[in-house]
A and B are shown apart, each in its own frame.
Chain A
Amino acid sequence: MTTLAKTGVRDTDLTAAELHAALERVWEPPSGFIGWFKNVFHKPISTRFIFAALGFFALGGVLALLMRLQLAMPENTLLSPDLYNQLFTVHGSTMMFLFAVPVMQAVGLYFVPLMVGTRNLAFPRLNTFGFFVYIIGGVLLWVALFLNIGPDTGWFSYVPLSGPEYSPGKRVDVWAQMITFTELSSLVAAVEIIVTVFKLRAPGMSLNRIPIFVWAQLVTSFMVIFAMPAVMLASAFLAMDRLVDTHFFNPAEGGDALLWQHLFWFFGHPEVYIIFIPATGIVSMLVQTFSRRPIVGYTAIVLSLIATAILGFGLWVHHMFATGLPQLGESFFTAASMLIAIPSGIQIFCWIATLWTGRLLVRTPLLFVAGFIFIFVLGGLTGVMQASVPIDLQVHDTFFVVAHFHYVLIGGAVFPLIGGLYYWFPKMTGRMMSESLGRVNFWIFFIGFNLTFFPMHQLGLAGMPRRVYTYLPQTGWGPLNFVSTIGAFVLSVAVIVFLLNAFVSYRTGALAGENPWGADSLDWSVPSPAPSYNFLYIPTVNSRTPLWTMEPAQPVVTGMRADILEVLVTELHDATPDHRHLLDGPSIWPFLTAVAFGIGVITAIFTAWGVTIGAVLCFITLAGWFWPAGQPIEDTAREAAPPLGERA
């Protein structure tokens, strides 16, 4: 048996420059066209994820503009009802399944390894698989829309409307299978994040020192694992009702129309927290950085995230108050729905207290945080109103609800996301985004958003239901709808300004150093843009704000191999070094498996044989994926944890 010191090339054998070159050789993504499909490194894959999600956001936004044009005036005939129904269904499905959840996970997949101090995600190939599955699902939905077989029963696709009798054709099948793709992708990302956070943290980063953004990603990932199976089950039942004549949802044959709603909302309500919790994680990071002090109430915030995640599963029925429930059931779900205001309240109070006692660096990301708090508090309060059954009976399924969830989703998630992109852009590209354009961007966004969505509260109270393609003039809804349409165009200008800023800054922005904002987390300890291997030496951590409390001679992990894809595995609780682990390298098989899965699921839209075809293809590609790759490298040596030491 070889001794530890004699195996391979180790960082202790090399100077910093040599180590950089050695690590670059190993961690550099494969090049070329085929290499693009074989890439398994978290930063390039997450960048693609973010690009794709923003692309879907833009497409979904275009649909929203078309809908706003149609509703600008009563009895407008710009869009036919059939097209309008496809547009709002694809808009909702895109924003929820192809934008909001994936983009939050993508930011997590990018920054979690950087924040916990490791070199890649725990299962690199699985990550690539998840990305391609997501892309296939997204393309399926949008190609269907352009072929006029876009789903048209709404993003929650209630049965029996979406069942075989009332939605013949393939539209709903496209929707159901798109769900299967994106939820699988989401589950994959959740597993990645959980294992990366639990096992790949830098030494010293005990559970109570994990950055709040990482906590948020972790909590969200657990929610994904509990929530997504419910909707995959529901969509599979629906697909079977439609394809092979089962009767899960057919009341005439002993099925139940309400079963769908329970299954869907058991997923659907946690879904909004799956989008919102990572956003609050971004906000906590930004508040801390731009207040120049550790955040107030770290423990309270983390416990709030966990409480939100647990409570989030106990209030799905508040989407179903109008179906007629027993009084006791109503009371329970009202109480649960109101209770969730408490963890959100804790977070808001902690953020404001941090800003209050901080010394602020006022930059664009902080403006987005302020905008977020304004909008989210308003959206949260209208949420409390709807928790009350009598009020909900009036505003349910009206534009009041449309206003509410855009306040909590755009205000609660998109504002932090844009703020976060301004914040992390230097780390991703090496350049700062323009501050002056950023401020213009913020104010147009803030004003446009409120102009679009605030009038919808009033419209809902004035009796305007959701999902109507037009309305009669005597309803009096015309003027407010017109205002809202103008707002939507202002909002889209803000999105264009953002894209413009990103594009111009990418080419000509001021160069950012390692840590342009003076932030505290490990992602800011590496050069911008981050090198392919992330950290030259695996760092160690001595507090919740590691860069702010770093000792001059803060130890690093030494003795890691520089010639293979090695990462340090640490223990779950205290992140003490445990052993070294060899990660998988680039491979074409994850892509091929995603394609095989895609062929199976898409074929299943047309024939049940799709399941068989897909299973056979997946078997082949998975066999390729898991084919033993020769001799494992010195397993016994890698069992040992490397020592901590000085930088070379």
Chain B
Amino acid sequence: MNLLERLQSLTERFAQSALETAGPQAERIAALWWLFFWVCTIIFVLVVAALVFALYRGRARSVEESSGPAVTLDSGREAGIHRKIFGLIVLTAIILFAFLLATEMTGRSLASLTSSGGVTIELTGYRWWWRARYLDPAPERIVVTANEIHIPVGKPVLINLYSRDVIHSLWVPELHGKRDLIPGHPNALWIQADRPGRYDGQCAEFCGQQHAHMRLIVIADPPDRFDAWLDAQRVTAQAPGDDTAKRGMEVFLTGSCALCHAIQGTDANGQVAPDLTHIASRATLAAGTLPNTPGHLAGWIVDPQHVKPGAAMPPNSLSAEDLQALLAYLKGLR
């Protein structure tokens, strides 16, 4: 294994690394990064070597405290030093210019990724979660979900970015660099994944108390699986199957849940919190903070402030029976 691979392998322990790329854009940025990395490393090594040599050479000719100036300046020699420094500066300028060109070329190729008629997602940042809407000319075919987006492998996807409160920043390192979600300034970002998988990201602009727990998951599926997922998401919520689940639905609709959350196909139509129509199909809870298991869901419902202090969701004091019923209902929302 050569040094390059060895260095790269160091990064593979990380779940959301900018250097372990899964899409063409992140890949181009990583290539540019490695160019900068190696050139800068060489420069650094040379400068430090010169410094160490200068210190070593100067120390061999060291002087005592009491002495004044100890070097007689020779104008020819000084002029030589000046010429060498000038040469180094010219070299620096050439390297910087090469960097600039490489940056420009990468910038252009990043901007060239577009397509028409592909998937367009409207992503809106809230404190501290993401609302995703898959746009469609037919309003009834629009899909609303939260904190987990699915994209088809190998196809450019347009993400329109909005914020409902403060500035957030979308960052899924394995796919692309950041783009801010700024209130009053709609933004857009094209992304593409080249291989199927789960790519984690999180908000990169400080947005308050739970900035650390504003995560987003991107799941790249082969196109047919993606289409199947999208079709499934278009269906309104499944009716509760058994009595427990029916009771759970009642808890949801008559308690405080429905004030903020929506479940398509029921009366719950709250718009200030994640849409829960297909919550059971998602991998995580609380914007990527917890795995989506019944235990975690129960803990989250009862005491969200323990998991995400400062989050908008209040604690819920439900009887054990009601809680179990609610869990049974939510578990059915595939």
Q: Which residues of A contact B (CB under 8 A)?
A: 80-82, 85, 153-154, 158, 160-161, 165-166, 251-252, 256-258, 291-294, 296-297, 300, 322-324, 327, 330-331, 334-335, 338-339, 341-342, 345-346, 348-350, 352-353, 355-362, 370, 373-374, 377-378, 381-382, 384-385, 387-398, 458, 461-463, 465-472, 474-477, 516-518, 520, 545, 547-548
Q: When the two chains form the complex, which single residue of A82, A390, A466 contacts B309, counting CB atoms closer than 8 Å?
A: A82
* CB pair A463 B15 closer than 8 Å: yes
Question: Given A338-B96, A384-B36, A396-B177, is A520 in contact with B69 using a C-beta cutoff of 8 Å?
Answer: yes
Q: Is the CB of A377 within 8 A of B107?
A: no
- Whether B88 pairs with A377 at a CB distance below 8 angstroms is no
Check A361/B63 contact, CB under 8 A, given A81-B209, A395-B18, A468-B212: yes
Chain A contacts for B205, CB-based, 8 A: 158, 322, 397
The 4 closest A-B pairs by CB, nearest first: A393-B177, A251-B184, A360-B58, A463-B16
Q: When chains A and B are docked, how far (Å) is the Cα of A219 from the Cα of B54?
A: 29
Would A296 and B81 count as touching, CB distance under 8 A? Answer: yes
- Additional 11 contacts, C-beta under 8 A, given A296-B78, A339-B96: A153-B208, A158-B206, A256-B184, A292-B68, A323-B187, A338-B99, A345-B89, A370-B51, A370-B55, A396-B178, A466-B206
Most buried by B among A291, A360, A397: A360
Q: Are B85 and A153 in contact (CB under 8 A)?
A: no
Cβ–Cβ contact A462 & B96, under 8 A: no
**Binding site of A, secondary structure by majority: helix, strand, loop or mixed?**
helix
Q: Once bound together, how far apart are the Cα atoms of A472 and B205, in whole Å?
A: 18
Determine, out of B6-14, B229-237, B274-282, B323-331, the stretch whose residues face the partner at the interface. B6-14
Given contacts A461-B18, A517-B65, A518-B68, contact A388 B11 (CB under 8 A): no
Partner among A80, A293, A350, A467 whose Cβ is within 8 Å of the Cβ of B206: A467
**In the complex, B202 has a CB within 8 A of chain A:** yes
8 contacts between A and B (CB under 8 A): A82-B309, A251-B184, A291-B71, A350-B85, A352-B50, A377-B47, A393-B29, A461-B11
> Digit string of B82-126 for contact with A (CB within 8 Å is 1, else 0)?
101100110011001001101110111011000000000000000
Bin chain B's interface residue count: 35 or more
Q: Hey, what's the 0/1 contact readout for B197-214 against A, CB within 8 Å counting as 1? A: 000111111111111100
Given A292-B71, A390-B103 in contact, is the A385-B18 Cβ separation under 8 Å? Answer: no
Q: Which residues of chain A are within 8 angstroms of B312 by Cβ–Cβ distance?
A: none
Q: Tell me whether A359 and B13 are in contact in the complex, defined as CB-CB below 8 angstroms, given that A81-B209, A166-B166, A384-B96 are known contacts.
A: no
B17 beta carbon closer than 8 Å to chain A: yes
CA distance A153 to B146 in the complex (A): 26
Query: Which single residue of chain B is at the shortest CB-CB distance from A465?
Result: B204
CA distance A353 to B185 in the complex (A): 50
The reply to whether the CB of B70 lies closer than 8 angstroms to some CB of chain A is yes
Q: Which single member of B107, B171, B176 contacts A389 (CB below 8 Å)? A: B107
Closest to A432 in B: B65
Asked if residues A80 and B309 are in contact (CB atoms below 8 Å), the reply is yes
CB atoms of A378 and B88 under 8 A apart: no
Residue of A nearest to B212 (CB): A468
In the complex, the chain A residue whose C-beta lies closest to that of B72 is A293
Verify A349–B89 contact, CB threshold 8 A: yes
A341 contacts B96, C-beta separation under 8 Å = yes
Closest Cβ of chain B to A334, distance in Å, is 6
> Does B165 reach chain A (CB closer than 8 Å)?
yes
Known: A330-B107, A353-B84, A356-B54. A293 touches B208 (CB 8 A): no
On chain A, the residues within 8 Å of B93 by CB distance are: 342
Q: How far is the CB of A256 from chain B (nearest CB, A)?
A: 7
Q: Are A391 and B51 in contact (CB under 8 A)?
A: no
Closest residue on chain B to residue A397 by CB atoms: B204
* Chain A residues, Cβ within 8 Å of B100: 331, 334-335, 338
Shortest beta-carbon distance from B331 to chain A in Å: 24
Closest to B165 in A: A166
Is the C-beta of B333 less than 8 angstroms from some C-beta in chain A? no
Q: How far is the CA of A617 from the CA of B62 in the complex (A)?
A: 60
Residue of A nearest to B186 (CB): A324
Q: Complex Cα distance A518/B185, Å?
A: 60
Nearest chain-A residue to B70 (Cβ)? A292
Expressed in whole angstroms, the minimum distance between the Cβ of A230 and any Cβ of chain B is: 20
Tell whether B301 is near chain A: CB-to-CB under 8 Å: no
